[in-house]
Structure 1
């Protein structure tokens, strides 16, 4: 028996439907201009522009220097592997909680999509002064601890390719100096951890280590974030050791599924 055609919901919301259709176009077909979107949807350009701007705001789209739109970090992550992100979260959450219990600071798991880093899991500590839940937030990768760890796993050619394709639609001034970035990534690669002191957010220090998946490639970064007033450099070796233990636990929990 043939499956019946889908029927629209009784209380269909046209604007939501339009936004979802644009998101599908961006993910499946590539870049799109305001004029393209307006023609495909049969709406005014002003309406298409508002829809695209909302998708940009929620990271489903990104606008390039040529004013066209492309799939944003959320759609890029979905295309990369939604199931992989889900597996990472499931494996990481118990270890993030143990980190919080052991160190008393908020813990995060972060992945990379292009030149951006997205927090996909977060566990807050219970201290009154703390770094809040970061889940779902997106930052330039070179400004976050885990983002730097993920970039450090790229070869020189891969790094060049990633930044050659970037548009910096949100903040063009945030484009990094690749020469200086390469030097920093070499240092991080050798150290095996990264420290971010106020780079992504003023008054916040984050310390992170890589999480490796199949083929020993870095698939995520696990980090602890704390107010800078509580950061003590003398405690760094102990914090890094706790992070490495958590990363090893996440990797072990991923291994049966990778094998």
Structure 2
């Protein structure tokens, strides 16, 4: 139990002081550097911590923390603004609706979901993560990030998850241009086999993406003729969440 307690205390310290170095944590806890480093690596492998993008010698909170945030998130402006519009969108299309937030450029994290009543439906567990370039929610966010962030993601490499994953730089850039023009992103089996989705971004006061809301469905119910209709609905829902959060 001592190791569990130590891990939790180090996790709390990173949350309080992030981005923080091993040396700084060693001083805080008066522990051997090797012990702190081993704990950090373990927490990182589990997704609770990650190295800072700006300085890889420093540590900060990772995506997995968001998996235990739903109860706390319910009091936040984002969750409060999103819930009712998500329910209305579900009622309009009778498909699964989910809300995801970006963990920097590392991944998207599902933080809320409204299920449809189809026996066969898509399922996204709270805390599930997915790559930005291969998903509708991720590309909806990418389309509204600064160009240098997009180029950084491309430089890291675009992993291919299916034959349709946008895994080349020019193709991804062109897709992001289309998303900005249309107002929504489309995913046709590009990440999970048999899963299609449409998503639009929730923006902050300065136009930066805070989250993305998506309609998700099995590809057996995907209908290309309905994409403009679904796209308008999901974009309108994202715009409503943006406005509600900003008090419009």
Same fold (TM over 0.5): yes
8 Å CA contact 1:117–1:141 kept in 2: the answer is yes
Secondary structure class of the residue paired with 2:217: strand
1:73 CA drift (Å): 2.5
8 Å CA contact 1:123–1:133 kept in 2: the answer is no
* Most deviating of 36-45 and 213-222: 36-45
8 Å CA contact 1:110–1:220 kept in 2: the answer is yes
Stretches of structure 2 that go unaligned for 5 or more consecutive residues are: 162-166
Secondary structure class of the residue paired with 2:121: coil
1:223 CA drift (Å): 0.5
Match of 1:127 among 113, 118, 122: 118
Structure 2 equivalent of residue 105 of structure 1: 95
Structure 2 equivalent of residue 252 of structure 1: 243
1:142 CA drift (Å): 1.2
8 Å CA contact 2:98–2:213 kept in 1: the answer is yes
In structure 1, how many angstroms separate the alpha carbons of the residues matched to 2:211 and 2:76? 12
| CA RMSD, 1 decimal | 3.8
Structure 2 equivalent of residue 30 of structure 1: 19
1:29 CA drift (Å): 4.7
Q: For residues 179 and 241 of structure 1, do their structure 2 counterparts lie closer, same or farther at Cα, with a shift above 3 Å needed?
A: closer
Stretches of structure 1 that go unaligned for 5 or more consecutive residues are: 1-12
Structure 1 residue 139 and structure 2 residue 130: aligned? yes
* Most deviating of 20-29 and 220-229: 20-29
More helix by share: 1
Structure 2 equivalent of residue 21 of structure 1: 9
TM-score (normalised: structure 2): 0.76
**Higher Cα Rg: structure 1 or 2?**
1
Structure 1 equivalent of residue 199 of structure 2: 208
TM-score (normalised: structure 1): 0.73
